[in-house]
Chains A and B, each alone.
Chain A
Amino acid sequence: MKATDTVLAELRKSATLPATAVAAGIAVLGCAGIALLNAVHVRDAPAAGRADLVGYTAPAEAVFSAAPLGAVGAVVLGVTAVSSEYAINSPGAGGGRQVLATLTAIPRRPELLVAKALVVALLVAATAAVALPVSLAIVHAVAGPVAADGLLARSVGAGIYWMLTALMAMAVTVFARGGVLPLIVLITNSSLVSVSVLLAKVTPLAFWLPDLAGMRLFAGDLVVGADRALDAPTGGLVMAAWTAALLAAAAAVLVRRDA
């Protein structure tokens, strides 16, 4: 059995899980929808003499302010990739959890986790590769040319942010063996009223939290307290370090734990 078999099996598993399609749908349609709404208002607000009602007027911001919805999709994808293993099948069909089939088919657990992480990262990257260009195109069509300045870097940054978010969601779900806790923590924290934002008002240490650090990859000045936040490359590295640490801890737990 080669490692590629494990990865392909996990890919097939994720691809045939309805929640994966829903997660990708949230990210693509959500981003496109919000980008459209934003673009309309970016276009109309100055003309109506009400620029004061909008937080920004640059078309590029209309794209990236929708990015939190992509993160929600990424969280759902990462969480369900693991929580579906632990979900109990309908009692009429004898109950039982898929994790038993998974661990008997792929008993080397670190390899399993790496394969899952690869698949989740791949699916999120594919989702981002659709969602962001579509949103950009919509904004371009509605609100006029999007300044190319830093656009590519921010787009890639947003994709990386989603990917790291999904991987963290995956790792946390391994600890929790269920979807509720990670969904709550990560969706709540991907919103703009997150606990991290509250904490950032108290201590600058909060900017080292994964979400606030990682947001610097794409959010530009949209981040609360941007003047005190980490710069973009550092923020990305900090978030990547959090992700790596969480995945390593998840692997350690998974290897030691009874199924």
Chain B
Amino acid sequence: MLTIDGLTKRRGGRAVLSEVTFRARPGRVTGFLGPNGAGKSSTLRVLLGLDRADAGTALVDGRRYRDLVAPLRTVGSMLDGAGAHRSRTARNHLAWVARSNAIPRRRVDEVLAQVGLADAARTRVGRFSLGMGQRLGLAAALLGDPPVLVLDEPTNGLDPAGIRWIRGLLRARADAGATVLLSSHLMGEVAEIADDLVVIAGGRVVATGPVDEVTAGYRTLEDAFFGLTGGGR
């Protein structure tokens, strides 16, 4: 369970987040929707202990991310691509990540195979394509076999087969009881997979709830999105 309560953050006098509050529950895929610059990434960065909020809390199963004992065994996350240094190989990147959380070394090759990078394990990350970088980021997120997944635009740069694959993966994880929080600005992607929706615009949450509740009164999710965020006109 992810619990975001009253998150507020200002950057240079501008409010990036204002009283952002929502839940992401176990066994469900929560879609985190919003236009570019709405505060999706900022929220996730605070949740993952990367940035500090001026007020409010973001908790994982009731604890701050920084207080988790082996965080990668609890939360798998991907923000902003692979998060690897370009001169290191994919396997070497995952090896240090695994080591840092006492994750068995065999998991490295397992996740590389799982995301379809087994053949690129010895390739330097700087030579990766966008889709491969994205797959490496997913591999790192899956490394600790975590019950919580936090993914920022995970399908960015993936081919149709990759998008289909990740959809199946996230569905299976949620059905097995995992908490999945998935940010995106792609309506179609979210409509296909999400159980719950959190819609954010201008740093404020404008709607939360199960998909059919949020979209009630609108013809499609896209209409709901533009109606709620006040864009697209």
Q: Do A and B come from the same complex?
A: yes
A residues near B (Cβ < 8 Å) are: 1-2, 5-6, 8-10, 12-13, 16-19, 84-85, 87, 89-90, 92-108, 256, 258-259
Residues of A within 8 A of B72 (CB): 104-105
Closest to A16 in B: B92
Complex interface: stretch among B25-33, B78-86, B195-203, B217-225: B78-86
Complex interface: stretch among B96-104, B163-171, B179-187: B96-104
Residues of B within 8 A of A89 (CB): 81-86, 125-126, 133
Residues of A within 8 A of B8 (CB): none
CB of B79 within 8 A of CB of A256, answer no
CB of A17 within 8 A of CB of B80, answer no
Given the contacts A13-B96, A258-B45, A18 and B81 also touching, CB distance less than 8 Å? no
Could you list 8 examples of A-B contacts with CB < 8 Å?
Answer: A13-B96, A89-B83, A96-B81, A96-B83, A96-B84, A100-B80, A104-B65, A104-B71
Partner of B127, one of A18, A90, A98: A90
Residues of A within 8 A of B96 (CB): 9-10, 12-13, 16
CB of B51 within 8 A of CB of A107, answer no
CB of A103 within 8 A of CB of B97, answer no
Residues of B within 8 A of A96 (CB): 79-84, 133, 137
CB of B85 within 8 A of CB of A17, answer yes
A259 to B80, CA, bound (A): 13
CB of A12 within 8 A of CB of B92, answer yes
CB of A18 within 8 A of CB of B71, answer no
State how many angstroms separate the Cβ of B64 from the closest Cβ of chain A. Answer: 9
CB of B101 within 8 A of CB of A97, answer no
Residues of B within 8 A of A100 (CB): 50, 79-80, 83
Q: Which applies to chain A's interface (DSSP): helix, strand, loop or mixed?
A: helix
Residues of B within 8 A of A97 (CB): 80, 83
Closest to A13 in B: B96
Residues of A within 8 A of B20 (CB): none
Q: Known pairs A105-B100, A258-B50; list 9 more (Cβ under 8 Å).
A: A6-B100, A90-B86, A90-B126, A94-B80, A94-B81, A103-B48, A105-B71, A106-B100, A108-B66
Closest to B156 in A: A94
A5 to B144, CA, bound (A): 14
Residues 128-163 (chain B) with a chain A CB within 8 angstroms: 128-130, 132-134, 137, 140, 156-157
B residues near A (Cβ < 8 Å) are: 45, 48-52, 65-66, 68-72, 75, 77, 79-89, 92-93, 95-102, 125-130, 132-134, 137, 140, 156-157
Closest to A99 in B: B83
Residues of B within 8 A of A10 (CB): 96, 100
Closest to B42 in A: A258
State how many angstroms separate the Cβ of A97 from the closest Cβ of chain B. Answer: 7
CB of A259 within 8 A of CB of B51, answer yes
Closest to A98 in B: B85
CB of A93 within 8 A of CB of B97, answer no
A19 to B128, CA, bound (A): 20
A1 to B128, CA, bound (A): 31
CB of A98 within 8 A of CB of B83, answer yes
Closest to B95 in A: A12
Residues of A within 8 A of B80 (CB): 94-97, 100
CB of A95 within 8 A of CB of B86, answer no
CB of B99 within 8 A of CB of A107, answer no
Closest to A18 in B: B87
A128 to B29, CA, bound (A): 53
CB of A94 within 8 A of CB of B68, answer no
Given the contacts A5-B101, A12-B92, A16-B88, A94 and B133 also touching, CB distance less than 8 Å? yes
CB of B101 within 8 A of CB of A2, answer no
Given the contacts A95-B80, A96-B133, A101-B83, A5 and B99 also touching, CB distance less than 8 Å? yes
Partner of B49, one of A6, A17, A107: A107
Residues of B within 8 A of A94 (CB): 80-82, 128, 130, 133-134, 137, 156-157
Partner of B140, one of A2, A13, A84, A101: A101
Closest to B73 in A: A1
State how many angstroms separate the Cβ of A229 from the closest Cβ of chain B. Answer: 40
A1 to B70, CA, bound (A): 5
State how many angstroms separate the Cβ of A105 from the closest Cβ of chain B. Answer: 4
